[in-house]
Structure 1
Amino acid sequence: MTKRAPVLADFKRIVVKVGSSLIVDPNKASAKRAWLKRLADDLADLHRAGADVLVVSSGAVALGRSVLGLQKGALKLEDSQAADAVGQIALARLWAETLHDRGLVAGQVLVTLGDTEERRRYLYARECLTRLLSLRAVPVINENDTVATAEIRYGDNDRLAARVATMASADLLILLSDVDGLYSAPPDTNPDAQHIPVVPRVTAEIEARTGGAASQYSRGGMRTKIEAAKIATTGGAHMVIADGREEAPISRIAAGGRCTWFLTPSNPVTACKKWIAGSLEPKG
């Protein structure tokens, strides 16, 4: 029996992840303000309906590299850190102004991998998010690339968003991307590829069929999204992958637009087990 997709209006705490390729125009290396305004309209609708809303937003490095005149393609660590330092200011201002225009207060939260792997730091970060939400603010979260190295970083915001969903006890994670979900095969190269609307459980077969490269402005791909699905669903949150390139993408999900839902087990694990299961690099 095929399981049905959940109803968006039923969720009470929602994490929305926005990728760099959505928020930054690759041709102009500047923010897509018109698109962001429509997304903010969606977020405001969720907020007015009573849901807690958190945003995990990429885009700082992409914005900063343009300001600093850095070349396209892969950046050296120190260049990436410099671009993040400059771009994070622009990104935070962009979100704060856009949400303010809709009566919402944004709160910037920068995290590192260690903040979700070390118990004390995890609890401090969780308390910060919980307090912001109790004040009806919208936390806008990103990885702190200025202090992260290759050995101590997420490397993509898909898994970061999944850890945030677990940390905040969210019941839904929305990954907005440049794809409209999971397929039985790569749709770009296989005309017979079929869209998969609901994934009851992330299996070894699902993991084996994923792959693909990221764009010049993003570090993720379908593989990292499947890894995020494992973290989120193990932690008690449903997850959905949807095409964010369309205007008002969350409204499209609510209206039954094409996407892929990953369902969480009916019995969520405890908060402690969530933390252990979601650790990206368990220490022996």
Structure 2
Amino acid sequence: MPIQSLLDFRDPSICKRLVIKIGSALLVDATGQVEAEWLRTIVNEIATARELGIEVVVVSSGAIAIGAKKLDFPDGGRRTLAEAQASASVGQIELASVWSKLLAERRLVAAQMLLTLDDFESRRRYLNISATIRRLLKSGVVPVVNENDTIATGEIKFGDNDRLAARVAQACDADGVILLTDVDGLYDRHPNDPEAERLAEVRGITAEIHDMADSESGSGVGTGGMTAKLLAAEIADRAGIALAILDGRPENPLARAMASQAGTIFVPQREDSGRRAWIGGRMRFNGSLTVDDGCVTALRDGNSVLAAGITRVAGNFKRGDIIQVLDVAGREIAKGLVEYSADDVEAIMGKQSGELEAILGHAPRSAVIHRDHLVMM
């Protein structure tokens, strides 16, 4: 049974594997130093979870913020890509050292994993990530994951560790994700508004829920914001993983949130297979297909993308690529593994199945994107 409440996150019969993400604003102070005493309370909570039988993976921000202060870079080291990468190179050493030291105090071994968006977009590398994390957990190790900002560019970058945490949770088949941040959940309007109310539970992320989000990071240190957290919740939801946004500012934040029932939990509404969850979590694409309203209706009824319903082809994709499916208004309605190259789709779009062999010169495949390789958004 999937997680249904905050208390379920500390029940090993329900939550056997947990991903905890910690934002830069919590972990690094204004002088660029790690909040070691606060972090020690988090480590104690990780150790308690391990004693209960819950495996824990950490996604830790903070490397750029730490390195920028050491290098005396302005704007948190994010003024240029080169400064961000240099900051990460310096900060990651210290960040890993702190995690290793504090976990060792509780007789736990830390493992560092630095990953990029490309690592998750490649099916082979994604499966390697999954295997590595599972093996580390089986050995009693606490993996500490961060984006590899020393090499990541705009094209191969998550841009926030919220979505990274959700993808890590997918890869290791976690039951829950906890995002520790500097707010205590999702509010129906900006939290500074005196009439704002916190949502204790969300079942299904709708356009109305997205409208509540603030896309900016409140601290000026991180790169997330509530929009990124909602996108992470959508990624988790596709794999049947619950996600909670909790206030990480006090010491022992997990225990405090559980005791007070403060925070927002996103209860999953679907549970795609591992491959479908991977497809649904994809963030980069070599192209897209635009389909007509009839095709949209057919897809929502569980059908495949056929050539007859395609009105536009964009990009330079090849057979086997994961691409987007858009409606006539340009909204993403699905992602899927395409059975034809972009040139072939352009040649057959709008055509009926009986016409395809004459156009292509060979027997056509059953669909442009088969329903077994299609994930609705």
TM exceeds 0.5?
yes
Q: Is the 8 A contact 1:8 1:253 kept in 2?
A: no
Which of 224, 231, 238 is 2:235 aligned to?
231
SS at match of 1:195: coil
1:270 aligns with 2:278: no
Aligned AA (2:111): G
Aligned ranges 1:160-199 → 2 under 5 Å: 160-188=164-192, 190-199=193-202
Which of 97, 102, 112 is 1:108 aligned to?
112
CA distance in 2, matches of 1:8, 1:149: 34
Percent of aligned positions that are identical: 43
CA distance in 2, matches of 1:205, 1:182: 12
2:133 counterpart residue number? 129
CA distance in 2, matches of 1:86, 1:216: 20
2:24 counterpart residue number? 20
Per-residue deviation, 1:283: 3.5
Render the CA deviation track for 1:16-67: whole Å, top value 9, x for unaligned.
00000000002x2111011000111111110110011000000001111111
Which of 43, 48, 56 is 2:51 aligned to?
48
Q: Is the 8 A contact 1:4 1:198 kept in 2?
A: no
Per-residue deviation, 1:4: 6.2
CA distance in 1, matches of 2:280, 2:18: 20
Q: What is the TM-score normalised by the length of structure 1?
A: 0.95
1:39 aligns with 2:20: no
More relative contact order in 1 or in 2 (CA 8 Å, sep 6+)?
1
Q: What is the TM-score normalised by the length of structure 2?
A: 0.72
1:209 counterpart residue number? 212
Per-residue deviation, 1:254: 2.6
1:8 counterpart residue number? 9
CA RMSD after TM alignment: 1.4
Determine which structure has more spread, i.e. the larger CA radius of gyration.
Answer: 2
2:244 counterpart residue number? 240
1:76 aligns with 2:77: no
Count of residues paired in the alignment? 279
CA distance in 1, matches of 2:108, 2:224: 29
Which of 30, 33, 38 is 2:33 aligned to?
30
1:153 counterpart residue number? 157
CA distance in 2, matches of 1:80, 1:48: 38
Greater mean alpha carbon deviation, residues 195-204 or residues 252-261: 252-261
Which of 195, 201, 225 is 1:221 aligned to?
225
Unaligned runs of 5+ in 1: none
Per-residue deviation, 1:124: 0.9
